[in-house]
């Protein structure tokens, strides 16, 4: 999940099916196996979105 809206959608689906959301552990990650000089800005943006931006608990999840 690289998008914060994906996490919001997931929380809504879980709440809809189970009625409440007590905890949500989001474990996502990706790695780069290419040489550093071959890394593109687009790949770095995707890597950052998955590994850093999408992981924290969202306030809309009411954690």
Task: State how far the alpha carbon of 39 is from the alpha carbons of 3, 11, 28, 51, 52, in Å.
Answer: 21, 33, 20, 16, 17
Describe the chain by its helix, strand, coil percentages, rounded to 5: 55, 0, 45
Share of the chain above pLDDT 90, in %: 8
- Report yes or no: 58 and 26 within 8 Å, Cβ to Cβ: no
pLDDT for 19 equals: 86
Tell me the whole-structure pTM to 2 decimals: 0.50
Strand runs labelled E in 1-63: none
Q: What is the pLDDT of residues 39-61, one digit of tens each?
A: 899 998 888 887 777 655 554 45
């Amino acid at each position: 999940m690289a998008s914060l809206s994906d996490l919001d959608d997931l929380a809504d689906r879980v709440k809809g099916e189970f009625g409440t959301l007590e905890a949500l552990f989001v474990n996502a990650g990706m790695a780069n196996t290419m040489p550093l000089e071959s890394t593109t800005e687009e790949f770095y943006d995707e890597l950052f979105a998955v590994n850093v931006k999408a992981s924290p608990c969202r306030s809309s999840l009411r954690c």
